[in-house]
Amino acid sequence: MTEVETRGRLGPLRHREFRLLVAGTTTSSFGGAVTPVALAFAVLDLGGSASDLGLVVAAFATAEVVTVLFGGVLGDRVARRLMMQGSAAACAVVQAAVATLLVTGNATIPILAGGGVLIGCLLALSGPSSSAMTRLTVPPDELGTAVALRRVLQNGAQILGFATGGLLVAGVGSGWAIAVDAATFVVAAACFALLRVPHVRPEGARQTLLADLGDGLREVLRHTWLWLLIGQALLYHLFYGGAQGVLGPIVVEDSLGRSAWGFALAALMAGFLVGGLTCLRWQPRHGLFVGTAFLSLTAAFPVAMALSDQLWLVLLGAFLHGFGLEIFSVNWDLSIQQNVAEDKLARVYSFDLVGSFVARPLGLAVTGPVAQAVGFDRWLLLVAAVMGGSSLLALLSRDVRALVRSG
Q: For residue range 65-74, what is the model confidence (pLDDT) as tens digits? A: 777 777 777 7
Give the pLDDT mean for 397-407: 85
Domains and CATH numbers, the chain: 8-402 (1.20.1250.20)
Distance of CA 129 to the CA centre of its chain: 14
Quick: pLDDT tens for 343-364. 788 788 888 887 777 777 777 7
Contact assessment for residue 321 and residue 259, using Cβ atoms and an 8 Å cutoff:
no
Q: What is the pTM of this model?
A: 0.74
**How many Å apart are CA 8 and CA 116, to the nearest integer?**
42
What's the confidence (pLDDT) of residue 204?
53
| Residue 366 banded pLDDT, cuts 50, 70, 90 | confident
Residue 165 pLDDT > 70? yes
How much is the pLDDT for 248?
A: 76
User: Is residue 282 a contact partner of residue 145, using CB atoms and an 8 Å limit?
Assistant: no
| Long-range CB contacts (within 8 A, 24+) of 250-255 | 250/50, 250/376, 251/305, 251/306, 251/308, 251/376, 251/380, 252/305, 252/308, 252/314, 255/308, 255/309
| Residues 120, 210: Cα–Cα separation, whole Å | 22
Residue 50's pLDDT is what? 66
User: So what's the pLDDT on residue 1?
Assistant: 39
Task: Give the count of beta carbons closer than 10 Å to the beta carbon of residue 25.
Answer: 23
User: Is residue 30 pLDDT above 50, yes or no?
Assistant: yes
pLDDT at 6: 41
Tell me the H-state helices in 172-247.
Answer: 174-193, 209-221, 224-242
Within 10 angstroms of residue 397's Cβ, the number of other Cβ atoms is 18
Confidence label for 2 from pLDDT (cuts 50, 70 and 90): very low
